[in-house]
Amino acid sequence: MVIRPVKDPHEIYFAMLEALQVHMLYTRGAPTGGSQVLSNNSQNAYNAGTSTSNAGNAMGGFGHLPPMERKIVQHIINSAPGEEGIHVTELTKGLGPNINAEDVSNALDRLTEAGHIFNTIDEFHYQIST
């Protein structure tokens, strides 16, 4: 788990609202009708600070990442893990035989610090931030 200093006080409010949105999603189900617009806007708010290139749009705003980090994000997205996320060992194996585990660990740390991924059930399981 990575703890970093808050640079903007709005990060705190965003995190609280995001937690509230996830709670409401799991307790009341997916929104319907006009509420769906709000859900799409919240996704756009998350991606607002990311690259707007075509590569970025193809990967949901992750196209600006370095190759190793982009490969990790793409593998997590493609493997479609459940709520518990994907285990580091499974992730490393899925990236190919010539992947250095230390490089994967460093990339995971950078992605976590940037808020692109997060730990789920323990420090070895990761999921994409939405």
Tokens linked to 102: 């230390």
CA dist., res. 61 & res. 116, Å (int): 10
Q: How high is the pLDDT of residue 80?
A: 64
SS3 118: strand
Q: What is the pLDDT of residues 7-20, one digit of tens each?
A: 888 888 888 888 88
What confidence score (pLDDT) does residue 60 get?
A: 57
Cβ atoms within 10 Å of 26's Cβ, excluding its own: 10
Residue 21: is its pLDDT beyond 60?
yes
Residue 19 DSSP class: H
CB 117 within 8 A of CB 65: no
pLDDT (tens digit per residue) in 40-90: 444 444 444 433 333 334 455 677 788 888 888 888 888 866 778 888 888
Output the average pLDDT for the chain: 74
User: Two tokens at 39?
Assistant: 């859900």
Output the CA angle 108-113-119, nearest 5 degrees.
60
The percent of residues in the chain predicted with pLDDT above 90, rounded, is 0
Q: Which strands sit side by side in the sheet containing 86-87, from one edge to the other?
A: 86-87, 125-128, 117-119
Q: What is the mean pLDDT of residues 35-43?
A: 44
